[in-house]
Amino acid sequence: MTIDARHSSRRSATHWPLGFLQSLRAGRRRIPSLPTRALPIHHLRQCLNALPYVQQRNLHQLVLGRPVPEGTHIESHQIASPWHETVRQRALPAHVEPLLLERIGRDRYGRKHWLIPDAARAYARMRATAIAAGCALEIVSSFRAVADQRRILERKRRAGQSWAAILAVNAPPGYSEHHSGRALDFAVADQPVLTEAFEHTSEFAWLIAHASTFGFRLSYPRGNAYGYIYEPWHWYFDA
C-alpha cells in the first residue's frame, strides 16, 4: 500500500502527498516554517522513513540536523580546495541542512532567524528564563545555508584575506554548525556583535551558568580542538 493510499482518507493538515515527500527526500524542497501543532513533525518523519530508501544521506540527520558521522561521504564540491586540507587536518565535522526549520524572530537588522523545531522550543524556554533573570539574549545568527557560507568565504577572499585567516574564523561550506539549524550567535543590545567583549557581559555569565539546562553548549572555547578562534557568542543545541 502506498503512502498516499494509507492516508488518502485523512484530509487534514497531516496529509503529505507522495510527490512532496519524494522531493523532500531528494533535497529539492525545504519547509522553512512548519506549524507544528497542525503538522506534527513525527508524522512527517514516519512518512519519510516509509519511502523506499534510495538516498545516501541519513533521514535522521536531514530532519534533526545532526552532524554527519565520521567517514560519511560528502559531495566533492563541499570539500574541494582551498579548504579540503583544512577539513582533513583539523578533523572538522560536517553538518547537513535540516529539512524542517521554525522561525524564532528577527535581529537588530531586521533579518529573520530559524532553528530546527526542537532547538527553537528550547531557545524559547531559555530566552524566557533569561529575561526573567534580567538578561536579554539577542540573536545575530542562526541557521545558515551552505551556499550562504560559501558566499561569506568568497567575499572575504575577494577583500584580500588569506584562506588561513578566513578559516580561523569561518567554517568551510558544509562544516558550519549553523547549517544544522542548532547553532545561535548571541549579542547584547547596543554593543558590537561577534567580539570577545561578549565574554564580559552578564548575558554570557548567565549562559555559562544555565545554558546547559536547556541543551545548549559553548562550541568554541579558547584552545578548542577545531582550530577556530574563541567564540563566547556561539552556542549549539546538543540535546
pLDDT higher than threshold 50 for residue 10: no
pLDDT higher than threshold 80 for residue 214: yes
pLDDT higher than threshold 90 for residue 25: no
Angle at 146 between CA 78 and CA 20, to 5 degrees: 105
Q: Which three three-digit cell numbers place residue 9?
A: 482518507
What three-state secondary structure class fits 77? helix
pLDDT higher than threshold 50 for residue 200: yes
Q: Where are the domains of the chain?
A: 3-55, 101-237
State residue 19's pLDDT score: 72
pLDDT tens-digit map of 73-83: 444 444 446 88
Q: Which three three-digit cell numbers place residue 210?
A: 544555565
Q: Kindly report the number of other CB atoms within 10 A of residue 190's CB atom.
A: 7
Angle at 32 between CA 5 and CA 64, to 5 degrees: 75
For 25-34, 177-186, 197-206, which range has the lowest pLDDT when averaged over its residues? 25-34
pLDDT tens-digit map of 139-173: 999 999 998 999 999 999 999 999 999 999 999 99
State residue 64's pLDDT score: 46
Span 205-228, average pLDDT: 97
Domain 101-237 is found in CATH 3.30.1380.10: yes
**Mean per-residue pLDDT over the chain, rounded:** 80
pLDDT higher than threshold 60 for residue 35: no
pLDDT higher than threshold 50 for residue 84: yes
State residue 96's pLDDT score: 87
Q: Using a pLDDT cut of 90, give the percent of the chain over it.
A: 58
CA dist 88 and 94 (Å) reads 11
Helices (H), the chain: 3-7, 18-25, 41-50, 59-64, 76-79, 84-90, 117-132, 146-158, 163-169, 202-210
Span 99-119, average pLDDT: 90
Span 187-200, average pLDDT: 94
